[in-house]
């Protein structure tokens, strides 16, 4: 942080001079966090909204996506973009398959009882984490970004890849929104979310919808992880933070509100980026978590959600 080491008047002046660009940099970093967070949280929100279960293993699907992205991109030689695109297709598909099997073998048999599914997903968390540790190892490993173009701003250069992550995330969010509101699949999902039994009575295969939603939720987390892994490395414990942040986003945004989820993700990501640029990251997290907890206490339906039915 320039300005910290200098003293007296020059320090004040340099802070003033640097404040604008600094804020811009912090905002950009926060926007990248927001983009990834929005996708991850959307996955959690879908599962939470449609199936009414809390998926504690959601962060592990995120981690699995990142680890598989590393595996795929190192297995494929040639230009990094080829490996990256392959990872972007293969890793989420595999994660979706794992989630589908988990839903089919475990959650369905529990009849989606909220408490039992929490314990079962905690079990999945342990299993996935341990398998990643055994087969992938405790190291953090990077994935090469598909391109290394830097955008030159007047004050600093900024990674073009990071901005493309924001764009990719925005496109995916729009696609999800279109699917949910404009297609028959979306209609079926919303019907199941609104009233499971009536939906079943109208011939909607509720079990298949649930399996699909669980897989799609995990795939969204995996896509987010593949996008972020060229920026932050793949590690077997990387699922913890996204899990907590996604919970926060889903709650703040309001259950089942796509718009709320996106707005909350931007809010949380930006404030995290900006606060941790100017204060200690730990203090930033303490303040952010406390504020969010208070929002929850005094406005439990979230900022954008409607009161629970």
**Does 55 interact with other proteins (rule: CB under 8 A)?**
no
Which listed residue (23, 86, 231, 296) binds other proteins by CB under 8 A?
A: 296
Tokens of 253: 């945004």
Q: What is the DSSP letter of 305?
A: P
Q: Smallest distance, Å, CB 186 to other proteins?
A: 24
Read off the tokens for 283.
């203090």
DSSP 151: E
> By CB under 8 A, is residue 293 in contact with other proteins?
yes
Reduced to 3 states, what is the DSSP secondary structure of residue 234? strand
Task: Please identify, using beta-carbon distances, which residue of 58 and 162 lies nearer to other proteins.
Answer: 58
Determine contact, residues 298/290, Cβ cutoff 8 Å: no
Pseudo-torsion of CA 218, 221, 223, 226, nearest 10°?
-120
The answer to the question of residue 67 lying near other proteins (CB under 8 A) is no
Which secondary structure element, helix H or strand E, spans residue 245, and what is its range?
helix 240-253
φ, ψ for residue 244 (rounded to 5)? -65, -45
**Cα first-last separation, the chain:** 49
Query: How many positions of this chain bind other proteins (CB under 8 A)?
Result: 42
Tell me if residue 100 falls in helix, strand or coil: helix
String of contacts with other proteins for each residue 75-114, x by CB under 8 A = -------------------------------x--xx--xx
- From residue 247 to residue 266, the character string flagging contacts with other proteins as x (rule: CB under 8 A) and all else as - is xx--x---------------
Q: Within 118-137, which residues bind other proteins (CB under 8 A)?
A: 118-120, 122-127, 129-131, 133-134
Which residues contact other proteins (rule: CB under 8 A)? 48, 54, 106, 109-110, 113-116, 118-120, 122-127, 129-131, 133-134, 240, 244, 247-248, 251, 280, 282-283, 285-286, 289-290, 292-294, 296-298, 300
């Amino acid at each position: 942080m320039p300005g910290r080491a200098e003293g007296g008047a020059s320090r004040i002046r340099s802070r003033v001079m640097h404040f604008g660009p600094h804020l811009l940099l912090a905002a950009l970093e926060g926007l990248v966090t927001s983009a990834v967070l929005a996708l991850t949280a959307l996955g959690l929100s879908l599962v939470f909204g449609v199936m009414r279960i809390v998926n504690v293993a959601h962060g592990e699907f995120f981690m699995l996506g990142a680890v598989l992205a590393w595996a795929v991109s190192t297995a494929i030689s040639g230009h990094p973009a080829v490996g990256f695109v392959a990872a972007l297709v293969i890793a989420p598909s595999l994660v979706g398959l794992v989630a589908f099997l988990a839903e089919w073998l475990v959650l369905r048999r529990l009849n989606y009882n909220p408490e039992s599914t929490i314990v079962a997903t905690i079990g999945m968390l342990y299993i996935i984490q341990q398998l990643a540790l055994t087969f992938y190892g405790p190291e953090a490993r990077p994935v090469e970004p598909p391109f290394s173009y830097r955008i030159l701003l007047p004050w600093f250069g900024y990674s073009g890849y990071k901005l493309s992550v924001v764009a990719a995330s925005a496109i995916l969010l729009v696609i999800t929104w279109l699917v949910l509101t404009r297609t028959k699949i979306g209609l079926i999902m919303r019907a199941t979310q609104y009233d499971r039994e009536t939906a079943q009575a109208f011939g909607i295969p509720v079990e298949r919808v649930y399996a699909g939603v669980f897989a799609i939720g995990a795939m969204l987390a995996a896509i987010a992880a593949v996008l972020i892994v060229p920026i932050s490395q793949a590690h077997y414990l990387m699922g913890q933070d996204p899990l907590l942040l996604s919970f926060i986003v889903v709650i703040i945004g309001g259950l089942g509100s796509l718009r709320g989820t996106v707005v909350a993700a931007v809010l949380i990501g930006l404030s995290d980026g900006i606060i941790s640029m100017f204060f200690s990251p730990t203090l930033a997290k303490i303040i952010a978590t406390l504020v969010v907890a208070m929002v929850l206490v005094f406005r439990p339906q979230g900022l954008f959600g409607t009161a629970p039915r």
